[in-house]
Amino acid sequence: MPSALRRAVLTVGCILAPLAVAGCAGLPHEGPSRAAVEQAHDNNNTSGFVLIDVDRKVANYLAQVAKPSLGDRFGKGRPARVNMIGSGDVLGVKIWEADQGGLFGTAGMVDRGEIPNVVVDARGRIHIPYAGAIRARGRTPAEVALAITERLKTKTVEPQVHVAVIKNVANVVTVSGNVGAPGIYPLSMRGDTLLDVLAGASGARDPSYETKIRYSQGKKTGVTYLDQVVQSQQNNLFVQPGDKIHVERKPKTYSAFGAV
């Protein structure tokens, strides 16, 4: 039964009064008529299709056939580690030292050297005066601050360093399509789910049962309706940096072809 159903051609013919049947030939239509399908089936049927009457038994069977969900394809996942720095991120670096006359001293003020808008290059490094090139990609701000401190220990007096992410470019997701505010959104430290990201983009414009979501993570892509995400926590995935979410309106429909 399953293999036959996958190849089934469901036809709807005219079963009205003879006059109505006579008028069917003049109606506009897409695809072959019932008579043409039955004739092809009885003659050679080189396409290998099967004619099946759509009755309650068939309808009940089809209702039980479930497509793999987003949770089945991707798994629920875990909250993303968005505190990791990546290429393109913009960092702010502040350096304190105990000696006012030191490398980063400021006369009459707290001893501090402020280096704003430090961009992480394509190789994942930043360049700090007197410290040289520091690897930042794949590290947290605290780890980068520690690496800078170690480089400056022999050149300054009791250095202390603070690093903060001013602009997050690496830990973002892209939301496109039929939402209130399409765009590129940074992920928060709490760990964002699919519904969190859609809410941040002002939500879908259409009812959830008519809203189709195409979710891409790396080379994998899954498609589902928004109402399935709302109804199942397993489908409300934890999104990861670089994921792409496309939303479109696609009402569920069926096609009746032939002389209907």
pLDDT tens digit string along 97-130? 876 666 665 544 444 578 888 999 999 999 998 8
Quote the pLDDT of residue 177: 95
Q: Which residues contact 91 (CB under 8 A, 6 or more apart)?
A: 85, 118, 119, 120, 126, 136, 141, 144, 163, 164, 165, 166
Beta-strand ranges (E) seen in the chain are: 8-9, 50-51, 90-96, 112-119, 125-128, 132-135, 160-167, 172-177, 183-186, 211-217, 220-225, 244-249
Instruction: Indicate whether 134 belongs to any domain.
Output: yes
What are 166-208's pLDDT values in tens digits? Answer: 988 889 999 999 999 999 999 988 889 999 999 999 999 999 9
Instruction: Indicate whether 260 belongs to any domain.
Output: no
| Structural domain harbouring 216 | 70-78+171-249
Amino acid at 82: V
* pLDDT of 64 strictly over 50: yes
Domain count, the chain: 3
Q: What is the percentage of the chain residues whose pLDDT exceeds 90?
A: 46
Q: Are residues 156 and 175 in the same domain?
A: no
Instruction: Indicate whether 145 belongs to any domain.
Output: yes
Report residue 18's pLDDT band, with 50, 70 and 90 as the boundaries. very low
Report residue 15's pLDDT band, with 50, 70 and 90 as the boundaries. very low
Higher pLDDT, 239 or 254: 239
Q: Which residues contact 190 (CB under 8 A, 6 or more apart)?
A: 79
Mean pLDDT in the chain? 81
Q: Which residues contact 245 (CB under 8 A, 6 or more apart)?
A: 173, 174, 175, 176, 194, 197, 198, 213, 214, 215, 216, 239
Quote the pLDDT of residue 109: 41
Q: Are residues 181 and 160 in the same domain?
A: no
Q: Are residues 95 and 153 in the same domain?
A: yes
Q: Are residues 151 and 29 in the same domain?
A: no
pTM for this prediction: 0.65
Quote the pLDDT of residue 258: 60
Q: Are residues 74 and 180 in the same domain?
A: yes
